Amino acid sequence: MSNAGMNTEVFEQFLIQLERFVRDRLIPVERKIIETDLIPENVLEAMRDMGLFGLTIPEEHGGADMNISQYIRTMHTLSYAMPAFRSIISINVGMFASAFKNGGTEAQKAAWLPRIAAGEIAAFGLTEPGSGSDAAGLQTTAVPTADGWLLNGTKRYITNSPFAKVGLIMARTATENLPKNAHISAFIVPLDIPGVTICKSDRKMGQSGSHIADIVLEDVHVGSEALLGGELGKGFALAMMSLDNGRMSVGAAATAYARRALDSAIRYATERKAFGEPIANFQLIQQMLAQSEIEIYAAECMMDDVTRRADAGENILRKAAAFKVFATEMCGRVVDACVQIHGGAGYLAEYDAERFFRDARIYRIYEGTTQILQLQIAKHMLREFAAAN
């Protein structure tokens, strides 16, 4: 179903404001975030004031009601700054809000979407120690009680869980595996209730200021109203419906971060001198700059195309996967070229090139690894061929 989104003129003015915010407020605090591993609270408040936590949430629930193109362009603009800023809002406006819009009851939407739009942080609990892309291996259970459900299990690599007020937790509601993963349901779980333990934040290769941690559920009791949509067996389907948006968001983030790295490389190449002249004059440096520009442009075109198709109501599963794969792999090549152009300086933490390199590595892994998405793309291609022949 298509969504007209925000008024076009209002949205374009918002993007101009956001670009200024990224330049004037976010990039200047990046070094502090690297030192403290936290986004300053005053910056988070400024992000809340701009409405960044409710971009896709309907206006009646306090959001901006952006369509997919507007949302992804916003993520692209925001992601020129370090990844922590997109990470802190992406679960709210991507996975959590999408699942509620696609499958929540009216009472659930009214209870939670205004809080999320106002800036309460949400988490999305699908991945476990023994299952990620393999939903059939999911072990967290939800057992019915007289007045609700009892949840037990562990969720792993859960973004924002140390800061989150609520989690959307996928749990097994049937012991056997059912077709289309109907053995998995989704539950709304406040993360401050008895039995919920948020473990210590994991130490990571990069992405300072963005936190992931395990969520352990031990005899966690929730009421019957916690079952998303009020129906069993819809949890995994709702999670998958939101993954297209998540993959486009990661693709947009990788595309923007590649642009940031290329801008850094150009600046360094024009300032750094060797053999009496700027290294930007050397043709092999120019080749790396040009190739990076070519690949970023290709990713930008894919982003524009897939989001336009999504807003038109097309099934974009394959194209969203293709964009995510290309953009994230491209970003890996560009940040590597950025280090190479910096030479020895690119290996030093004093320069941005080395953290661009570390930050970008995860883009090829989360929201579906490159390899899982390649398999998914091929599966759909073969299925279409078989249906046509």
pLDDT, one tens digit per residue, over 119-167 is 999 999 988 998 876 767 889 999 999 999 999 999 999 999 999 999 9
pLDDT tens column, 244-265: 888 999 999 999 999 999 999 9
Which of 213, 233, 253 lies at the terminal end of a domain, its last residue? 233
User: Domain of 23: which CATH number?
Assistant: 1.10.540.10
Contact status, residue 115 vs residue 160, Cβ threshold 8 Å: no
Same-domain status, 178 and 262: no
294 pLDDT exceeds 70? yes
Q: What is the dihedral of CA 124, 214, 133, 55, to 10 degrees?
A: 20
Same-domain status, 129 and 39: no
Residue 354 a catalytic site member = no
Residue 245 lies in a domain: yes
d(CA 214, CA 197): 8
Residue 193 lies in a domain: yes
> For position 93, what pLDDT does the model report?
87
Residues 6+ apart with CB under 8 A from 297: none
Residue with tokens 């998958």: 240
pTM (2 decimals)? 0.93
Same-domain status, 151 and 277: no
Residue 1 lies in a domain: no
> For position 98, what pLDDT does the model report?
87
Residue with tokens 């509620």: 100
Q: State the DSSP string of 160-210.
A: TTTT-SEEEEEEE-SSS--GGGTTEEEEEEETTSTTEEE-PPPP-SS-TT-
Same-domain status, 358 and 256: yes
pLDDT tens column, 34-48: 999 999 999 999 999
> For position 74, what pLDDT does the model report?
97
271 pLDDT exceeds 50? yes
Same-domain status, 261 and 359: yes
Domain of 26 in residue numbering reads as: 8-120
Residue 3 lies in a domain: no
Counting every residue, how long is the chain?
A: 389
pLDDT tens column, 146-156: 999 999 999 99
Please pick, among 41, 295, 367, 384, the residue that the annotation labels catalytic. Answer: 367
User: Domain of 130: which CATH number?
Assistant: 2.40.110.10
> For position 133, what pLDDT does the model report?
64
Residue 262 lies in a domain: yes
Contact status, residue 68 vs residue 307, Cβ threshold 8 Å: yes
Which of 63, 90, 120 lies at the terminal end of a domain, its last residue? 120
Same-domain status, 303 and 383: yes
Q: Cα 274 to the chain's mean position, in Å?
A: 40
Query: Mean pLDDT across the chain, nearest whole number?
Result: 94
The tally of domains found in the chain comes to: 3
Same-domain status, 206 and 312: no
Q: 78 pLDDT band (50/70/90 cuts)?
A: very high
> For position 226, what pLDDT does the model report?
96
Same-domain status, 255 and 296: yes
Which stretch, 26-35, 137-146, 175-184, has highest mean pLDDT?
A: 26-35
Residue 2 lies in a domain: no
Same-domain status, 271 and 190: no
Same-domain status, 105 and 223: no
240 pLDDT exceeds 90? no
d(CA 266, CA 238): 43
Which of 71, 92, 120 lies at the terminal end of a domain, its last residue? 120
Same-domain status, 113 and 172: no
Residue 345 lies in a domain: yes
Residues 6+ apart with CB under 8 A from 325: 370, 373, 374, 377
Same-domain status, 268 and 281: yes
Residue 157 lies in a domain: yes
1 pLDDT exceeds 50? no
